Amino acid sequence: MANDRRETFLAEAARMYDEIMLWNEEHAEGSLEELESFLREKRLALMSHLLTNVLELRAEKLAEEPHPSPSCGVLMASEALRARYAQTLEGEARFQRAYYSCRTCSEWISPLDRHLGLDRSAWSRSIQEGITALRISLPVRRAANIFQDLTGIWISPSTVYRLNHKKKTSLPLKQIKQAEEIW
């Protein structure tokens, strides 16, 4: 299984290399900005592939291990595979991971989510912090656009708004309020 993943990834990387070289022939006089934008899109696609592989491997490895309940220590039973989506600065992943439950204390967890530090949000901590930092001095739509310019990742203005209204930042509340009043 791990070898299949490796072969698929390497085939994808080789295909992408050819695609980039072909693009370069067709855009021989293109600007550095065009090249940057094209390569970033490719990088995110390739890293998304890798991220998905890594998370699938972790989920498989965890499925082979016993999982004591964090609350009471009793071994939990594997309940169900659930789909999950995660977006990071290095790409996105859709993967399946197991949920476990404890018959004694009713604990219900996904060990992989716990290891990864994934809460209910699909966005990695770096993305959330980046968006929060931009949002302090910019209106929602502008923050979304600049974040996309910098990272190649589109986060809708409504999500930008939501991220900032559930997440506490390290700035004092008064300072955030003052910054927001400007807009």
Question: Which residues bind to Zn ion, rule: CB under 5 A?
Answer: 69, 71-72, 74, 102, 104-105, 107
Closest CB 109 distance from Zn ion, rounded Å: 10
Contacts 24+ apart (CB under 8 A), 139-145: 139/183
Provide φ and ψ at 73, rounded to 5°.
Answer: 85, -10
Taking the least distance from each CB to Zn ion, the nearer of 62 and 138 is 62
Cα–Cα distances (Å) from 43 to 9, 36, 64, 88, 124, in that order, read: 13, 10, 32, 13, 18
**Tokens in use for 109?**
């967890």
Closest CB 104 distance from Zn ion, rounded Å: 4
Closest CB 71 distance from Zn ion, rounded Å: 5
Contact 155, 147 (CB under 8 A): yes
Taking the least distance from each CB to Zn ion, the nearer of 45 and 72 is 72
Closest CB 13 distance from Zn ion, rounded Å: 44
Taking the least distance from each CB to Zn ion, the nearer of 30 and 73 is 73
Taking the least distance from each CB to Zn ion, the nearer of 109 and 163 is 109
How does strand 91-101 pair with strand 108-109? antiparallel
